[in-house]
Structure 1
């Protein structure tokens, strides 16, 4: 094994040592620096002989020397000679090496695992310094090759920990991944299509979205869908239900906790939902339940995109797109002083109203089918179908709990009966008394009374046709009646019908001349 010559700048000038001083008469050289150089040279020779491979790299990361043992790794690294290897930058010829990091930081890496096309190695990396402490290069030692055989217990433990880490990362990614898409918002009625159209438009922006609608109308589903269709789909979707978190814990839930902020706090601190959603989307469900005292801090986080953990003086920048949702009337709450006006304006940038189920009974059949499929998948039961008379009975209910209530009814009936075809008789056992008799609920009755029935068949004849056809016919008659009552004024007709003017135009375009307003339309 050839040892480095004494004129090698990396072996002698890099050796630290005190100033020369007289040494006691012990037969050793009188020059203390020479003693240190001799010791360093001996250690270098021992390392070169004991290690399975060794290299020296200069300040510019160039390889200046390799041991005889290291030469056997060259073919696997793609080199057929020492001359082609020495002189190259180490990061160019040894994949995954951290020699450059040792040179730049001056910190040794006493033990590490290196894996590349040449195999797996247990390595050590040490910086080389001059008398003033300036790093001149580094020495790398291959202590063991194929440590998976010579150090099998340690390697098995390392491999197990690596697998557990990857599993944890996959599980965390799955939890943060959006669960729904815009196509998953079921419905082809005009109001459902309008909600999906608006969702697609806002998904392309980074602006704050406010989802408005009664409980059970699918606000959380649409929030997931907007995130999935946005440029942030690859990042985290983090949701928090404000109504489900005690007021005293909300600040920590949103903004995190500094280490040791209060008695019982975690020693390492805890990230808040804003930090967890950094780069992605934060869904604030039931924003109307946000305590008034915490609203200014939430407003600052939304406006400045920065958060200050509880018990900390440090401000952290975040990049978060916020989607808020509420079933409460925020405008009325602002007027009553229960919700800050400035926070409402900050949230109400892109509002989307989700229709109640009673407003889109034309989607009832599709919703029932989709919900029954999901119930069967989750419960392991056979898939059920619903008869026409059962659909007619369900349409007679006003559904104050909307789709959540519909799912509850379907799940009850599916679990209580073994039949594959669910009929009206099955649903009467769980529906309210008025619906059991086939009597329309209050909202359905109002709609029937508001329609023009001068040339219409009786209610019994209407229910004798398929439900979607009956609902569509009822909708057309209600629109015609409203246009007739307002002399063709579409704004007034839309207000009377309780729908947006754009929705009214879509219906008229869909039906064609049949429902055109009189000529004096404004």
Structure 2
């Protein structure tokens, strides 16, 4: 039987356990058989062949197991991945005690099953069966815990960094959204932090202990979107999985479903999404049964949905269903006042992940402010990481370190008006002094002594400056 496993990865608790227990099961059994992913027989030992009345065991290799053993439950084990321990099976007016176990490939996908027909005396196998049952239960619990952890959120409102009026308004609306169980539409350019905000809203909401499931509509091929959203029943189409596959709505039930780049959703799917939101019901692909779901939808897009409404590429009824509470996230170029705190936060994350402590000078932040940031915060992080990698000082980013990695083609261009308004600094200072002296003299009704005291200079210095301006 060892040849059944030679082409399989030996990692994974269940695979290791089956391989360890197999020799003992086979020794204590009256026969053994194995099937592949399609429940076709791949191996049968001679004792089981004799028990079934088969002359030559090789004659049944490749045949569907139910053609040879009509009462077998091997296809069920392959389909569900759940073992059937000490089950009773009738065959040719015999009652056989059978144990059936699934086995897996490198990706932990089920690729077949193995079964043992046991003798009447089960006492020697009791400890083994008990151990397998316990470990299989622990493994199932661990997988569920990992799945829950994978769907947990990483971000809270504190992770949306910024103290500018624009950033504070975004946070205010996000808190409002967290306190109300309603659809939210996040609008903003790529890289502005829409997913961070979506997770933050979920984390602060009453659904925080339920799943947060995100799907990037633009990243899923159009022909797979319906299955991705609503799930698939076994055999729904050619090549479909033999097991039922849950969609994002089912995975997110009770929690939050984040639809990123919802503006890229094709029109046919928009109608089905609208029905799911209105009725709280979905129909898996290939099924004629309706399943009830309870999700809170947060949608996001970098596209102009109002323009898409006008041209007919986005349904108005879906738009109004999604846009109950709208939050517009400003691009980075419109909140440059947040550059300093954003750099501190990003450097903290980078330092933690790379094991280095880094800082940025005021001149470095000023250099960043001269760029228009088409990629927003995502691009800012990339620039900081590159500057740290290429910088000579390593742990301190100054203006020179920033300019070495900052793209040159997208700096904000000064308008002709602002270019003409640039004058020599000495002239600007002189004009400012003259205006201050004039205002002081007007306030003091021409009394130069009092004007000098108001300006914080001596009377002789005031007379000197008046002489230069006259």
Q: Quickly name the TM-score band, shorter chain normalised.
A: 0.5 to 0.7
Matches within 5 A, 1:154-233: 154-233=129-208
Encode CA deviations 1:140-194: one digit per residue, 9 max, x unaligned: xxxxxxxxx9954344333322332232122111111111101111111111011
Distance 1:155 1:414, change over 3 A: farther
- The aligned counterpart of 2:288 is 313
Of the two, which has the highest radius of gyration? Answer: 1
Whole-angstrom CA distance in 2 between matches of 1:246 and 1:186: 33
- The aligned counterpart of 1:49 is none
Please say if residues 434 and 441 of structure 1, whose CA atoms lie closer than 8 Å, have aligned partners that are also in contact: no
- The aligned counterpart of 2:307 is 332
- The aligned counterpart of 1:441 is 412
Whole-angstrom CA distance in 1 between matches of 2:138 and 2:244: 26
- The aligned counterpart of 2:437 is none
SS in 2 for 1:382: coil
**Counterpart pick for 1:421 among 393, 396, 405:** 396
Please say if residues 216 and 402 of structure 1, whose CA atoms lie closer than 8 Å, have aligned partners that are also in contact: yes
Asked if residue 408 in structure 1 is aligned to residue 379 in structure 2, the reply is no
SS in 2 for 1:429: helix
Encode CA deviations 1:439-472: one digit per residue, 9 max, x unaligned: x614xx469959xx899x89x99xxxxxxxxxxx
Whole-angstrom CA distance in 2 between matches of 1:447 and 1:372: 36
Whole-angstrom CA distance in 2 between matches of 1:253 and 1:447: 52
Please say if residues 187 and 363 of structure 1, whose CA atoms lie closer than 8 Å, have aligned partners that are also in contact: yes
Encode CA deviations 1:305-352: one digit per residue, 9 max, x unaligned: 100111111111110100000000000011011111111111111000
Please say if residues 256 and 273 of structure 1, whose CA atoms lie closer than 8 Å, have aligned partners that are also in contact: yes
- The aligned counterpart of 2:238 is 263
Q: CA-atom RMSD, angstroms?
A: 2.9
- The aligned counterpart of 1:345 is 320
Whole-angstrom CA distance in 1 between matches of 2:293 and 2:366: 51
Matches within 5 A, 1:3-402: 151-378=126-353, 380-402=354-376
Please say if residues 356 and 402 of structure 1, whose CA atoms lie closer than 8 Å, have aligned partners that are also in contact: yes
How many pairs were matched up?
A: 306
Distance 1:111 1:308, change over 3 A: same
- RCO higher in 1 or 2 (8 Å CA, sep ≥ 6)? 2
SS in 2 for 1:433: coil
Distance 1:366 1:243, change over 3 A: same
SS in 2 for 1:355: coil
Distance 1:434 1:292, change over 3 A: closer
SS in 2 for 1:262: coil
Shift in Å, 1:400: 0.9
Q: Which moved more, 1:169-178 or 1:190-199?
A: 169-178
Please say if residues 232 and 281 of structure 1, whose CA atoms lie closer than 8 Å, have aligned partners that are also in contact: yes
Distance 1:446 1:381, change over 3 A: farther
Q: Which moved more, 1:390-399 or 1:260-269?
A: 260-269
TM-score by length of 1: 0.55
Shift in Å, 1:359: 1.3
Whole-angstrom CA distance in 1 between matches of 2:125 and 2:191: 61
- Unmatched tracts of structure 1, length 5 or more: 1-109, 113-148, 462-522
TM-score by length of 2: 0.61
